[in-house]
Amino acid sequence: MAKPRDERQRDLLKPALDQIINLGHPLVRLAGLIDWNFLDARFSSVCTAGPGQPPLPSRLVAGLFILKHMHNLSDEVLCARWVENPYYQFFCGEESFQHAAPFDRSSLTRWRQRLGEDQLVALIQESLAVAHKTGALASKDLERVVVDTTVQPKAIAHPTDARLTHRALEKLVALAKDAGVPLRQSYARVAKRAAIMVGRYSHAHQFKRARRALKFLRTRLGRVIRDIRRRIAGDDALKARFGPLLDLALRVRHQDHRQRGHKIYALHAPEVECIGKGKAQAPYEFGCKVSVATPATQPKGGQFVLHAQALHGNPYDGHTLGPIVAGIETLTGVETRRIHVDKGYRGHNHPHKFRVWISGQVRRVTKTIRREMKRRAAVEPVIGHLKAEHRLGRNYLKGRDGDRINAILAAAGYNFSLLLRWLERLLRALIAALIDTDRGRQIA
């Protein structure tokens, strides 16, 4: 694939964007502050020179990712908004107003898979650079940080044994039909009835009958699995096609809700983990753990996200602190002096033990440190905004790579939304100062 290049220029037959938009708009000012060459160098590093059509311009791709997670838009809605909104087009580097998008929703999927977490983290790095450049974030704000973890839920239905068993049976029967493998019996009608009755019996607290219906369902799933294995025996192509789904169905067939260790909670997302954070309204959440770091101080532009990373395997919080702090220092280029965490990080693995302050700690606590420890809770509303407004609350991207990518993009979108508000405040302050100056002259 060829290197991405940007050869867009003004079209004489189309209206110029800088003539129809307000150049003082915060999105326009933000576009002028971002170092697009830095993002181009990072994004184009995944492409190699060669024959073929060149990819989309890297500024267009970076701008689309920022706008998507800054305004909580799906890929389809983003494509429609981009055509309607001239400010979106200007932000993505267009010179003239475009009546049709030069990309489609699948372009964003391919670019996410191509870039990955290592390259997309440049968006967070650039957002922090712009914040420092505009005065929204000072260097001293990077020396004292707060680290906490949350759960990034996956877009799956609530898992139950009956639902998973019935779904595995349905998928196996559908795949056998597509592959032309005849089955002795599909059990479609009786399996659906059994899955419904498990839910009804459980709701009525008739658990003996519910277990009997679930056993009936698992027996039918086992029959379908054995029937398919007999039919595809000796055919390597069919074995390769049925292998992954048969393995998942077998695990669903034998797993129990009381068993320890990793379980299957969704057939289309087997990487999903069950995480309990002690919440009364949500005792268990299904997704992956995400670490979020913010300043312990009060930056002028707001509580920026300094680092975000998805953590698979449901690790203990304290065992993630060392790598997370190292990632913060690599991203910001500033050594952290004090790290504030909650009691879930006791027994952490950070090499500098005396730089970590756990909530409730009494020894060696001065007035300054006590004041910073009260600021530890500032990370909680940041996590709330990430989930409610920047697509961290429900991850629709596929696989573990999708978990890592969504966490990075949500943090970048949140940072750029803070920058938009900061630029709006600066513009209002500038206008107010000009009005005061004009009034002073009139009085004089």
Give Cβ neighbours of residue 50 (< 8 Å, ≥ 6 apart): 1, 2
* Dihedral, 243, 248, 250, 253 alpha carbons, nearest 10: -160
Residue 3: its pLDDT value, please? 65
**Model pTM score:** 0.91
Residue 80: its pLDDT value, please? 94
Q: Can you name the residues that pair with 309 across neighbouring β-strands?
A: 291
Long-range pairs of 323-328 with CB within 8 A, sequence gap ≥ 24: 324/147, 324/291, 324/293, 325/145, 325/147, 325/350, 328/145, 328/293
Q: Find tokens 């009804």 and name the residue.
A: 200
Query: Tens of pLDDT along 133-181?
Result: 999 999 999 999 999 999 999 999 999 999 999 999 999 999 999 999 9
Phi, psi of 74 (to 5 degrees): -80, 170
Contact 267, 165 (CB under 8 A): no
Distances in Å between the Cα of 286 and the Cα atoms of 264, 266, 411 are 11, 10, 20
Residue 289 three-state SS: strand
Query: Tens of pLDDT along 278-290?
Result: 788 888 999 999 9
Residue 435: its pLDDT value, please? 74
For residue 416, give both structure tokens. 């750029």
Q: Mean pLDDT, 10 residues at a time, over the chain (444 residues)?
A: 67 82 92 93 81 83 95 94 94 91 91 93 96 93 95 94 95 95 94 95 96 96 96 93 95 88 92 88 91 95 95 93 94 93 91 90 86 91 96 94 96 96 84 71 66
Residue 444: its pLDDT value, please? 59
Question: What CA–CA distance (Å, rounded) separates 210 from 139?
Answer: 60
Quick count: other Cβ atoms within 10 Å of Cβ 122?
A: 22
Residue 425: its pLDDT value, please? 87
Contact 273, 312 (CB under 8 A): yes
Burial code (b: 16+ CB inside 10 Å, e: under 16) for 93-120 equals bbebbbeebebeeebbeebbeebebebb
Question: What CA–CA distance (Å, rounded) separates 255 from 436?
Answer: 72
Distances in Å between the Cα of 291 and the Cα atoms of 81, 280, 311 are 31, 21, 7
Classify the C-alpha dihedral 152-66-45-126 as positive or negative.
negative
